[in-house]
Every structure is written in structure tokens, then in C-alpha cells.
Amino acid sequence: MKISMKVNGVDYENDIEPRTLLVQYLRETLDLTGTNIGCDTSQCGACTIHVNGEAVKSCTMLAVQADGATITTIEGLANDGELHPVQKAFCENHGLQCGYCTPGMIMASVDMLKNNPNPTEEEIRHGLEGNFCRCTGYHNIVKSVKAAAVSMKGGA
């Protein structure tokens, strides 16, 4: 099937098998391998991206369902080489260790902060419960998101 979508500002048109998952399309067809796959039951959130501005687990969608959509992946988050405040906050607060959950965690955090720019710790923990991390115990992820919220307000 032919599909087209805008990914990280670039227009793509591809002929794909209808059963292709959106995450497979991004990783295998477009070679955007920053989005990781951590499970096969839509639990882990490693594959979280933005579809039309909303955080979505890209293993839960077929690529054809995203036909015509505007998509941002972790590769498209930094602006002209300048890290997004959430990316920066994860680096500055040791919000990652092995880094495998990190792209999904960051994309989910960006979406959460868009909807709730000043979250409490409880709201952060609740907001990220769909994203698993096995390394950090979430402690520094929560700290990173808090720091990002502060710095984004500062910049606004």
C-alpha cells in the first residue's frame, strides 16, 4: 500500500505491506532507528513518538493508520543541533543509564509537559507510568522532568 507522511519535517512516500507497524516503518523503511522496540505487548513505551503532536506508542499503530500524519521522532526533537530542554535535562540529571528506554521516555515527557507545564512529582510519576525503565529506578527521570519543566518556563 502507498502511504505518505511527514516525519521530522521531511515528506516521505512509500509502498509498504499493510501489516507493517508504524515503528517498523520508521526503523526499517526510513532508517530512523532512534525509536527502540522493547516489547511485543505495548507495555514498555520505548517506541513512543509524536503523531500529530500527541505521544503514541508506535508499536500500537499500523503505518497505514498514520497515512497523512505529521510525525516527530527522537531524531527530530533537537532544533538545529540545539538539544530540546527535556533532552538537556535528562543529560544534566542523569536521567538515563543504558539509554534504551530514553527516546520513548523523552518523547512521553515532552508530551506530558505540553499538557501540564508544571507537574507535581505525583503527576510526573503518573504521567510516565506507560514507559518502563529498568536502570534508573525512575528517580532521576522524575528529577529530569522536573528540571525540564523549570527550564522550559524560564525560556518562555
Partner 1 sequence: MGKYIGESVLRKEDPRMVTGEAKYLDDIKIPGMLYAVVKRSDYAHAKIKNIDTSEATKMPGVLGVWTGKDFEDVNPMPCAWQAGGITNNANTPRVLEIDKVTFTGQGIAVVVAEDRNLAEDACSKINVEYEELPVVVSAEDAIKPGAPQLHENAPNNICMEWECGNEDGTDKALSNSDVVVKEQLVNQRLIPNSMEPRGAIAEYKSATEEFTVWLTSQAPHVHRLLATAFVFGIPETKMRVIAPHVGGGFGCKIFLYPEYCLVIALAKKIGRPIKWMETRSENFQATTHGRDHSTQIQVGASNDGTITSLKVNTVANLGGTLSTIAPGIPTTLYGRLLSGTYKFPNIYCGVKGVYTNTGMVDAYRGAGRPEATYVVERALDLVANKLGMDVVDVRKKNFIQKDQFPYTPADGITKGLEYDSGDYEKPLNKALEMFNYTQFREEQKKSRSEGKYLGVGFSTYIEACGVAPSAWVGVGGEGWGAGLWESANIRVHLTGKVVVTTGSSPHGQGTETTMAQIAADELGLPFDDVDVQYNDTLGTPFGYGTYGSRSAAVGGTAVFNAVQKVKQKALRIGAHMLEASADDVVYEDGKVSVKGSPDQAKTIQEIAGAAALGYSLPEGDEPFLDETAYFDPPNTTWPFGTHICVVEIEEETGSVKVKKYLAVDDVGNVVNPMVVDGQIHGGIAQGVAQALWESGEYNESGELMSGSLIDYAIPRTDCLPNLELDRTVTPSPTNPLGVKGVGETGTIASTPAVVNAVIDALAPFGVTNLNMPLTSQKIWNVIQKKGG
Binding interface with partner 1 (CB under 8 A): 17, 19, 27, 31-41, 43-44, 46, 73-75, 77-78, 83, 87, 90-92, 94, 96-103, 106, 121-122, 124-126, 128-142
Residue carrying C-alpha cell 503532536: 53
In the complex with partner 1, which residue's Cβ is closer, 68 or 121? 121
Find where cell 510519576 sits.
125
**What is the smallest separation between the CB atom of 83 and partner 1, expressed in angstroms?**
7
Q: How far is the CB of 44 from partner 1 (least distance, A)?
A: 6
Closer CB to partner 1, residue 19 or residue 68? 19
E-strand ranges in the chain read 2-7, 10-15, 48-51, 54-57, 70-72
CB-nearer residue toward partner 1: 53 or 99: 99
Instruction: State in angstroms the smallest separation of the CB of 66 from partner 1.
Output: 18
Residue number, 68 or 147, with CB nearest to partner 1 = 147
CA distance to 47, 76, 79, 126, 156, per residue, from 150 (Å): 26, 22, 19, 19, 10
Nearest distance from residue 50's CB to partner 1, in Å?
13
Query: 50: number of CA atoms within 13 Å, CB side?
Result: 23
88 vs 76: CA distance, rounded Å:
14
